[in-house]
A and B are shown apart, each in its own frame.
Chain A
Amino acid sequence: MTSLKSVAPKDAGPRLVGRSGMTAKPEIMSGAEVIIRALEDMGVDTIFGYPGGAVLPIYDALFQHSKINHVLVRHEQGAAHAAEGYARSTGKPGVVLVTSGPGATNTVTGIADAMLDSIPMVVLTGQVATHLVGTDAFQEADTVGITRHCTKHNYFVDKSEDLCQIMFEAFHIATTGRPGPVVIDLPKNIQVADAPYVKPIGQVEHRTYKPQIKGDRALIEEALELMAEAERPILYTGGGIINAGPAASQLLREFAHATGFPVTSTLMGLGAMPHDDQQFLGMLGMHGTYEANMSMHGCDVMVCLGARFDDRVTGRVDGFSPGSKKIHVDIDRSSINKNIHVDIGIVGDVGHVLEDMLKLWRAKAYRARPQVKDWWAQIEDWRARDCLAYAQKGEGILPQHAVKRLFDLTHHKSPIITTEVGQHQMWAAQYFGFDKPNKWLTSGGLGTMGYGLPAAIGAQLAYPDALVIDIAGEASIQMNLQEMGTATQYRLPVKVFTLNNEYMGMVRQWQQLTYEGRYSSSYSDSLPDFVKLAESFGWTGIRIEKASDLDDGIKQMMETDGPVFVDCVVEKLENCYPMVPSGAAHNEMILGPEGASGKISKEGQALV
């Protein structure tokens, strides 16, 4: 069995003593130097940023230090998403450095994105000098106020003596417990003032912030008894498993195999369980598989591991898995009983809890009940519906087919896949299989169009030799297209594979299914010539228009050194199925166009 201690990335990295614990004699340097030294001492090798007046001292300190690789993006939103991509693919915190005012406000979408997807990130924002704060000074924005509710925590540094402490504390908070973004707002005078620097030693101790790692033993025992009694069990897993480090994914696999229980995953959890494992039912939720959703609906014991009963997953709450006892393991106590009432809530790191569960299952020689066999027979029936089947006919490329071929032709390289947001994102989740964690980077919680390209850049920086592909839509990709220049500058061979349907497809699909086909502002008009555009950035551009050219186009993309933009022209009006319409329960899913009505109740309309 894998031991967590050796692998979990969280256990690496800096350790901080309490506020009073900095005992060594401090070195005095400028605030800007403290920032850089702290980053270096915490092992930060890459930061994503954009300069401006309020961070010039930090950029100057950076200039004089060669250890840290600063990646100059083209827009601060790109820096935030790139840091997310870096963090999601490595498990290490992503670091962003931007100027005050517009620099800071441009990062807000990325910060909110990291908040909802629990991505460890530290954002350093410049600020006007403390004596100017509150005067509407040039490029002043209340960054701490603006980001208060989309950060895990944020700081305004008003004394240079506090700077060192705050730097280490911020990383501790960003990376432990339920990870998330932390903003440090840095007035310019603090950056130039004398400031003490001491590298803290030992275990991090924060006075009030103490995430619970170990799960309650008695509750774990109770949960296992329930599982051993289950006739129709299911493991419902989420992004928490990815955040808990690669060992947690390994433990999930071992636990699933030990129990023989079926496993489904949220969008964020893909890769924790291998896509081709016999026990894996695929993704659940709004565009999840028939077998996953029907199993969730019909189970008698549901074990939620590091997922959060998001509304995309549950569908109509009062119709959600009505007959099951529910167990929920989450490191964030506020996730338990937030949307769905559960019978047993276990607060703790899902990796640690899985380790305890596995030990206990073996120690007590538990066996799944014989009825679980019948449950599997039922599941196999659902699976036999083959809900993801599609019929590729003729030369018009079905988007599902494009993703399927992309997967078939690239999976031997174990690529890192990022996505934008829309139908293509769902098709990527459905047709691209993952067998390892940290290979699938997508904006799940916030659903941010424009995430994929900068996230791919961040991942490629972390893994220069990996194949990194952004599966994109032609509308989303235009939201952070400027980052193509970043890829060129840093010689990052990212691939953008755009499913070009000339529509904001997901919007159009909803309009078709719920607004009787009134396509209000969802057509992608005036598109650029993506091939020429790519070439103008020094990329290679490839256009694929016919099904018979698809494989060659994909191979050409892979064989081309350097960044490549593939404009894959697909069928314009294809819809993404299966689908649980908003306001419906899991067992009311639509499997294809036959089930779609074109109308929806007022309640359904209100649900987005």
Chain B
Amino acid sequence: MSAASEDIARHTMSVIVDNEAGVLARVIGLFSGRGYNIESLTVAEISDDNTVSRITVVTSGTPMVIDQITAQLERLVPVRAVRDLTVEGPSVEREMALVKVRGTGDIRVEALRIADIFRARVVDTSTESFIFEITGPTEKIEAFISLMQPLGLVEISRTGVAAIARGAEAL
């Protein structure tokens, strides 16, 4: 349906879960089983006693699908809260990437110059390679990667998105 496909938008969701065995499998399985897509997913414990984890999922869909995803996530027993950061007001999104670039001579200099503009740090170097560490919103990482492509990019490792709502309120 063409009308629906035009409404498809990217959403970043925070899912707070009890940190019990299998909880990540439940969340991922829900997405795959119901045909929702996952663009990125990150998870880590966030409480002192290791009982709570925060999952950040970036997905896309029509408003009806996004509402379904929220409702289906809330239905999982170990899920404490689900927030759609994209609709609930401004938020900060960051991801980190490690980017390995191989080359010598001019392209090596060029890579370093661009990295500087992007404030990417060099975290490893050899005479014919660099590893850059870059942090920022997804678009920035992607712009950096595409510029590195012709400059000898050979390997990428990305963390996926971590996100949090702006302002004093806490989830």
Number of A-B contacts (CB under 8 A): 41
Interface residues of A in 287-342 (CB under 8 A from B): 332-334, 336-338, 341
Residues of B with C-beta under 8 A to A337:
64, 67-68
**Pairwise interchain contact B33-A153, C-beta atoms closer than 8 A:** no
Whole-angstrom CA separation of A336 from B25 in the bound complex:
25
Q: Quick one: closest A residue to B75, CB to CB?
A: A334
**Pairwise interchain contact B22-A208, C-beta atoms closer than 8 A:** no
Whole-angstrom CA separation of A207 from B77 in the bound complex:
9
Residues of B with C-beta under 8 A to A156:
21-22
Asked whether A149 and B75 contact (CB < 8 A) given A144-B22, A334-B68, A338-B68, the answer is no
Q: Quick one: closest B residue to A333, CB to CB?
A: B71
**Pairwise interchain contact B25-A145, C-beta atoms closer than 8 A:** yes
**Pairwise interchain contact A341-B64, C-beta atoms closer than 8 A:** yes
**Pairwise interchain contact A333-B29, C-beta atoms closer than 8 A:** no
Mask, B13-32, CB within 8 Å of A = 1, is: 00000100110011001100
**Pairwise interchain contact B74-A333, C-beta atoms closer than 8 A:** yes
The yes or no answer to A359 lying at the interface (CB within 8 A) is: no
- A: number of interface residues (CB 8 Å): 20
Asked whether A208 and B68 contact (CB < 8 A) given A144-B22, A148-B29, A156-B22, the answer is no
Residues of B with C-beta under 8 A to A336:
71
The yes or no answer to A173 lying at the interface (CB within 8 A) is: yes
The yes or no answer to B108 lying at the interface (CB within 8 A) is: no
**Pairwise interchain contact A208-B77, C-beta atoms closer than 8 A:** yes
Q: Quick one: closest B residue to A180, CB to CB?
A: B75
| Best-buried of B29, B64, B71, B80 by chain A (most CB within 10 Å) | B71
Query: Smallest distance from the beta carbon of A312 to chain B beta carbons, Å?
Result: 19
Query: Smallest distance from the beta carbon of B108 to chain A beta carbons, Å?
Result: 47
The yes or no answer to B78 lying at the interface (CB within 8 A) is: yes
Q: Quick one: closest B residue to A173, CB to CB?
A: B77
Query: Smallest distance from the beta carbon of A577 to chain B beta carbons, Å?
Result: 31
**Pairwise interchain contact B22-A334, C-beta atoms closer than 8 A:** no
Mask, A197-224, CB within 8 Å of B = 1, is: 0000000001111000000000000000
The yes or no answer to B72 lying at the interface (CB within 8 A) is: yes
Q: Top 7 closest A-B pairs, CB basis?
A: A334-B71, A153-B77, A333-B71, A209-B77, A208-B80, A334-B72, A149-B33
Query: What is the interface of chain A, defined by CB distance below 8 A to chain B?
Result: 144-145, 148-149, 152-153, 156, 158, 173, 206-209, 332-334, 336-338, 341
Can you spell out 17 A-B residue pairs with CB atoms less than 8 angstroms apart?
A144-B22, A145-B22, A145-B25, A153-B77, A156-B22, A158-B21, A208-B78, A209-B77, A333-B71, A334-B71, A334-B74, A336-B71, A337-B67, A337-B68, A338-B68, A338-B71, A341-B64
